[in-house]
Structure 1
Amino acid sequence: MSDHSALLAPAATELLRVAAAVPSLDAHTGCADYDVRGLLDHLLYWGPRLAAAGRRESSAAPESDVALVEDDWPALLEKQTEELVAAFASASAWTGTVTFGPAELPAAVVGDMVLGEFVLHGWDLARASGTTLSCSDDAAAAVLASAVAMGERARSTGVYGAEVPVPVTAPLLDRALGASGRDPYA
Structure 2
Amino acid sequence: MADLQLATRAAAPLVEIVRNIKPDQLDAPTPCTEYAVRQLVNHLLFWGPSLEGAGRKEPVPAPAASETEVDLTGGDWAADLAAQVGRTADAWSQSTAWEGTTRVVGPTELPASMIGGMVVCEMVTHGWDLARATGQKPSWDDELLEYVHEEITRTAEQGRQMGAYGPEVPVPASSSALDRALGLMGRDPGWRR
- Common fold, TM-score beyond 0.5? yes
Give the SS at the match of 1:100.
Answer: coil
Q: CA deviation at 1:10?
A: 2.6
* AA aligned opposite 1:54: G
The answer on whether the counterparts of 1:4 and 1:142 sit within 8 Å (CA) in structure 2 is no
Q: Which residue of 2 aligns with 1:167?
A: 172
154, 167, 170: which is aligned to 1:149? 154
Q: Which residue of 2 aligns with 1:87?
A: 91
Over aligned residue pairs, what C-alpha RMSD do you find?
Answer: 1.4
Q: CA deviation at 1:71?
A: 2.6
Q: CA deviation at 1:147?
A: 1.3
Counterparts of 1:109 and 1:29, CA distance in 2: 26
Question: Could you give the per-residue CA deviations for residues 23-58 of structure 1, whole angstroms, max 9, x where no partner exists?
Answer: 311011121111010000000011100111111112
Q: CA deviation at 1:64?
A: 3.8
- Percent identical pairs in the alignment equals 43
Q: Which residue of 1 aligns with 2:70?
A: 66
Q: CA deviation at 1:112?
A: 1.1
Question: Could you give the per-residue CA deviations for residues 73-111 of structure 1, whole angstroms, max 9, x where no partner exists?
Answer: 011111101110111111221111002223211111111
Q: Which moved more, 1:108-117 or 1:4-13?
A: 4-13
Counterparts of 2:161 and 2:70, CA distance in 1: 23
TM-score (structure 2 length as normaliser): 0.90
Q: Which residue of 2 aligns with 1:18?
A: 17
TM-score (structure 1 length as normaliser): 0.93
167, 183, 186: which is aligned to 2:188? 183
Q: How does 1:88-107 map to 2 (within 5 A)?
A: 88-102=92-106, 103-107=108-112
Q: CA deviation at 1:121?
A: 0.4
Q: CA deviation at 1:63?
A: 3.6
Q: CA deviation at 1:120?
A: 0.1
Q: Which moved more, 1:16-25 or 1:45-54?
A: 16-25
Gaps of 5+ in 1: none
